[in-house]
Amino acid sequence: MAQVERLRAENPIADPDALVSYDGLILGSPTYLGGVSGTFETLMDKTGGLWRQQKLKGKLAAGFTVSSLPSGDRQSALMSMLVFCMQHGMIRVGNPIVPEQHAGVPYDDAANRVGSWVGLMAQAGHGAAADAFPAGDKRGAQLFGQNFARTLDRLKQETPATQRQEEPA
């Protein structure tokens, strides 16, 4: 299974070229006022040089976001991440988890309880601790990460390393 390294947005902002060394990127941001955070916006802006050279092309990508309100316009934040990935030529993985409450799982315990397929969405209470998510959101995050890792492993097996690192003509 793929190895995971957690980066804070500040690290690649300082050195966006570091993103090139990863096989895949799971991008995450809180939803602020219907979009990604200012820090995440800065990260996206700092990758302009990578975009011009298409250095992230062919990398696997996914996105997740959280807000404190039931909608919180999280879809807008995920769409911003989606467009960013598409502009870089990345391969985007969505969220394949069928909302479990439809199978009788209690709402707060159900994975993908908010029904998002563009990426992972979670909801935290306003002012809640960083790890204070309902059990279903935690389970959904685990399943989302496992799906990404399996997809990345499959992609790496199917695509020769020389083709993954190919520069555009």
pLDDT tens for each residue of 69-121: 877 789 999 999 999 999 999 999 999 999 999 999 999 999 999 999 999 99
pLDDT at residue 14, rounded to an integer: 81
Decide if 96 is inside a domain: yes
pLDDT at residue 1, rounded to an integer: 61
pLDDT (mean) for 57-66: 96
Full residue range of the structural domain in which residue 58 is found: 10-164
Query: How much is the pTM?
Result: 0.87
Lowest mean pLDDT among 22-26, 124-128, 146-150, 159-163: 159-163
Number of domains the chain is built from: 1
99, 113 Cβ separation under 8 angstroms? yes
* Beta-bridge partners for 65: 29, 121
- Mean pLDDT of the residues in the chain: 89
CATH of the domain at 38: 3.40.50.360
94, 60 Cβ separation under 8 angstroms? no
Decide if 131 is inside a domain: yes
Decide if 169 is inside a domain: no
